[in-house]
């Protein structure tokens, strides 16, 4: 049982580490990247970028408040107190 808890904790921590890297990539993107990629990028492309960024941030938020993430957080918090 103790071994199962340790394994579960390790798996959750690996998942969180990967997820943190993905979130960091999303957060570090800026609108300058669209102008680097497209020489003829204009205001419409920038609006599309910010609209997509809003969607990505909303999706991240939805994940953070999801039942599954709350359960993982609760589990990891309980394990760190041991």
Check residue 57 and give its pLDDT: 92
Cα(2)–Cα(6) distance, integer angstroms: 6
Check residue 32 and give its pLDDT: 77
* Nearest one of 18, 34, 24, 1 to 72, comparing CA atoms: 18
Cα(45)–Cα(75) distance, integer angstroms: 42
Check residue 81 and give its pLDDT: 66
Check residue 43 and give its pLDDT: 87
pTM greater than the 0.85 cutoff: no
Check residue 80 and give its pLDDT: 82
Low-confidence ranges of the chain (pLDDT < 50): none
């Amino acid at each position: 049982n103790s071994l199962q808890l340790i394994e579960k904790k390790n798996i959750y921590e690996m998942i969180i580490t990967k997820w943190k890297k993905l979130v960091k990539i999303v957060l570090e993107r800026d609108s300058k990247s669209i102008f680097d990629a497209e020489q003829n990028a204009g205001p419409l492309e920038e609006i599309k970028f910010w609209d997509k960024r809003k969607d990505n941030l909303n999706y991240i938020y939805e994940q953070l408040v999801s039942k599954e993430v709350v359960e993982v957080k609760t589990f990891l918090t309980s394990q760190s107190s041991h």
